[in-house]
Structure 1
Amino acid sequence: MSGSERRDEIRAHLESKRAQLEATNARIEARAGRNLVFAIGSGLIFAAIFIASLFLLKGLFAVLVAALVSIALVELAAAFRTAGRRVPRVGVVLGGLVVVVGAYFWGAEGMLLGLFAGSVLLTLWRLVEGLVPSWETAPRTLVRDVFSGLFTLVYVAFLASFAVLLLSGERGEWWVFGLVAVVVSVDVGAYAAGVTLGKHKMTPRISPNKTWEGFAGAALVAVIVGVVVSLFALRQPWWVGVVLGLVVLLTATGGDLTESLIKRNLGVKDMSSWIPGHGGFLDRLDSLLPSAVGVYGVALVLGVV
C-alpha cells in the first residue's frame, strides 16, 4: 500500500469515527434536550463561582443571588413581552433587588416588606408607562401587564430570597450548599435514568423529555446525596437527609414542570441562550427557586434558622 493510500485510509477512518461520535451526541441531545458537552462545561464554571462566593464571603453570595435574580427577571419579562404582555424590565429588576436586599439585611420581615415595596414600585412604574403615550403600545393590556409583572417578581425574586434567608442560619453556608447539591442530584439522576431507561412519559404535553424512570432515578440519587449532605455537612441525623431528598425531589420536579408550562404558554423554547447547553439563567434556576423554599421550611422546623 502506497503512502497516499495509507493516508486516505486513515482519513476515512477518522471521518467515520467523527460521524459516529456526532451521531451519538445528536441522539443524546435529542433525548435529553440539551448539548451535553456545553452543559457540563458551563455547569462546572457556574459551580466554581457558586462555591467561591458561598464560602469566601456571605455578602458576595448575596451579590451573586442579586445578579442572577436580575438576569432571570429580565429573561422572564422579555418572554412575557413576546406574548404581548408589557412587563417593565427596569421596574421589575429594581423591585427584585429590593426583595433580595431586604432579605439579606432584615431577614424574613425585610423580605416580605421588600416584596410589598417592590410590588408597589413595579405597579407604579407600569402605570406611569401607561400615562406616557410614547411609551404605551397596548393600553388595554394594562391590568394583565401589572399582574404578569407581579408574578415575575414573586416567582423569581421572592423565591430566590429564601436562599438568602437560609444563609443567615446556623451553618447557613452548608445548608445552601446542601440545597444546590440535592437539586443538582435530582437533575443528574433524572437525566441519567431518563436517557438510559426512560420509556414511560411523565408529562408529555408539558415536558416531553421527562419520564417516570427518570423520576425514580432522581428520587434514588436525591435521597443518597441528601443523607450524605445531612451527615457530613449539616451535622444532622440521617433521616433529615431522607426528608431533604424527598422534599427537593418534589420541589425541583415541580419547579421544572412549572417553568416548562410557562414557556409553553408563552410560546418560547428557552428563556434565553446566554448559557451554552442550558438555555437561559432561569432555565437553570427553575428547580432551585421552589426548592429554596422547601429546604428553608425543613431548616425552620429543625430550628436552625
Structure 2
Amino acid sequence: MKFVMRLAAVAIAAGLTSGAAGAEEVRFAKQLQVNNLPSMLVEHDKLFEKHAAALGEPDLTANWLTFANGGAAVDAMISGNVEFVSVGLTNFGVIWARTGGKVKGVAGVGGVALPLLTRNPDVKTLDDFKSSDRIAVPTVKVSNQAVMLSMALAKLHGPEARNKLDEQTVQLGHSDALQALLNPQHEVNTHFSTPPYSIIAMKDPRIHKVMDSNELFDAPLNSNVMFAQTAYHDANPVAVQAIIAALNEANAMIAADPERAAELYLQISGDKLDKQDVVALLKDRGTIFSTKPQGTLEVVQYMADTGLIPKRPETLQDMFFPEILAETN
C-alpha cells in the first residue's frame, strides 16, 4: 500500500489530473471480484447507458477497464485515465485522506464476509497463534484484511492489542496465499482470504475458519466502494446520477434472481467454481449489495485513530458525495 500513499502524495502536490476521454465516454475501473458483482452487471446489461438516456444524455457510454488490483485502479484515476473507481474500502480511505477530500465516495458497491482461514489444527481463536505461524494478507497494515485483523484484536483485548500479530503477518496476493495455505510445507499456514479463494480453500479438509469480518459489525460491511474526483463529480451530475441508478438496478436484480447473477458472475470472471457455491455466497447473511455505504465510517475512523491515515472523517458527509447520502437517508 506504500505505492498508493506515494501516488496520493504526488496527487496532492501536483493536483489530480483530469482525464482525456471523449466528451461522451465515461471510464470505469473494475476488478473481477464477487463484491464488485453489481458493477459487472451494470456493464453486462448496459445499465449506465440506460439510465443516462433516461436522464437526458443518450450519448453517454461506459468504458469498463479491468485492473488486477486496487492500487493500479487508484493510480489510473490519479493519472486521469478513469473517472470512476471501485476498490476496497481501505484503499478508498487512504486516497480520501491523502487528497484532503479531492476524492469522495459516489456509492457503496458490495461486500462479503472475509474469512481468516488456517491449516493449523491447534488454532481455534486469535489467541492461539504462535510465533511460528504466518498469516497472509494482500497488503500489510492497510488492506481490508489487515485492518479487519487489527480491529478483531482490539475488540478482543483492547486497543493496545491491535498490533499483536504484526510479526506473524506477511504480504501475499490472494492467489499466492491460497497456494501457500494448501501447501503443507509452506511457512504461510493462514490466509485472511476473500471469495473465490476462500471457497476453494474450504474444499480442503485440512482448512478451517478461525473468524470472519462479519463478526466485527452489527450489519454486513460494504467493503467495496465506488469513488471519483470531486472536480469530475461537480462537472458531471448526470454521470453520477446514472451510475447510482444503474447500481441500484443491478442490486435489485441480484436480490431477485441470484441464480442468474451467479451465472453471469462465473461467465464474466472466468472463475472455476460451482454455481451453487456462488449462489450460497450471494445469499449469505454476511453479503451485501447496496449503494448505501454501510459500515464505512467506522472502518475509516479506525484507520485514522490508529495512525494509518492522516485525516479523520467525523460523518459520512465528509467522505461521500451528497447524492448517495440523500438517497440512503
TM-score by length of 2: 0.26
Question: Higher relative contact order at CA 8 Å, sep ≥6: structure 1 or structure 2?
Answer: 2
Flag the structure with higher helix content: 1
TM-score normalized by the length of structure 1: 0.28
**Higher Rg:** 1
